[in-house]
Amino acid sequence: MIKTFIVDDEPELVELNKVLLQKHFDEIEIIGSCGSVAEAVEFINEHKPQLLLLDIRLTDGTGFTILQKIKPYNYALIFITAYNEFAIKAIKFSAIDYILKPIDENDFCDAVSRAISSINDEALHTQVQTFFNYYERKTQARRIILKTTEAINIVDVSDITHCRSESNYTTFYMINGSKIMVSRVLKEYEDLLSEYGFFRPHHSFLVNLSYVTKLDKSDGGFLILKDGAEVPVSLRRKKRLIQVLESL
């Protein structure tokens, strides 16, 4: 059984979490719940849960304060939040699962299933540290966590040449020639990477502009990258792309 602990200061949401866990996950044992930072730290240190559902906003602080007090991170983690877009961006960068309030049952089950599969994964500490580095602006050298069914990949943003959308999947093309496919849509990564010099010239592509060598205007237009890759440019995005390239 997977020992699970819920931290939320809204009793009705704690109850909803319990109902959904009991309804969908026979392998989960709910060992407790609380609504404050102090109670959570004491309980987690004593009982060592394997799965933690953690609300970001609590009456006496935040879920982040709890994380800073309960190292090492040897449990699966799901954030629950209705607030703070910047925090959500940091969570996405670190590929930690999260659930938005009001809770959707399908989203809840998907997040818990993914979290269960990551229990005992040694990369969790790196994920949490990546989160704090982004959230607290500790470093300008950005890394992003890319989770696949086979591995958790810790990637320097500057090593990504471009990304390609394939249905609900996104493939990352790396400077060393490797590829990483994740089950997330391209729009999510466009939002994360736009501030690091990435541009979406086509609905199926996101490009690191530092790897662009030429904009070829023939055949509708396409970008040539340093590794020889060709990326199409849509007509409606071409004007904005030219403006961005001219400003580099």
What's the pLDDT tens digit per position in 167-192? 899 999 999 999 999 999 999 999 99
CB 248 within 8 A of CB 209: yes
Q: 225-239 burial, b if ≥16 CB within 10 A, otherwise e?
A: beeebebebeeebbe
Q: Which of 239, 167, 226, 168 is nearest to 199 (CA)?
A: 239
pLDDT tens-digit series, residues 10-50: 999 999 999 999 999 999 999 999 999 999 999 999 999 99
Mean pLDDT calculated for residue range 147-172:
93
* DSSP 8-state code for residue 228: S
Supply the Cα-derived Rg of the chain in whole angstroms: 20
What is the SS3 assignment for 89-126? HHHHHHCCEEEECCCCHHHHHHHHHHHHHCCCCCCHHH
Checking if the pLDDT of 84 tops 70, the result is no
The CATH architecture to which 2-135 belongs is: 3-Layer(aba) Sandwich (3.40)
Give the three-state DSSP class for 162. strand
Q: Average of pLDDT values for 66-91?
A: 85
Contacts of 167 (CB under 8 A, 6+ apart): none
Check residue 135 and give its pLDDT.
Answer: 83
pLDDT of residue 138: 60
Residue 238, pLDDT score: 92
3-state secondary structure of 51: strand
Q: Which residue has the tokens 């958790």?
A: 152
CA dihedral 75, 79, 84, 85 (to 10 degrees): 90
Q: What is the residue extent of each domain of the chain?
A: 2-135, 155-246
Is the pLDDT score of 208 beyond 70?
A: yes
Q: What angle do CA 223, 167, 88 make, to 5 degrees?
A: 90
Of the candidates 152, 157, 187, the one whose C-alpha atom is nearest the C-alpha of residue 169 is: 187
Fold equal for 2-135 and 155-246 = no
Residue 126 has a pLDDT of 84
Band (162; pLDDT cuts 50, 70, 90): very high
Q: Does domain 155-246 have CATH number 2.40.50.1020?
A: yes
The CA distances from residue 202 to 183, 221, 242, in Å, are: 19, 10, 13
Three-state secondary structure call for residue 55: strand
Strand partners, 144: 155
Instruction: Report the predicted TM-score, pTM, of the whole model to 2 decimal places.
Output: 0.75
Amino acid identity, position 106 = N
* pLDDT tens track for 100-151: 999 999 999 999 998 998 887 777 788 888 888 888 876 555 889 999 888 8
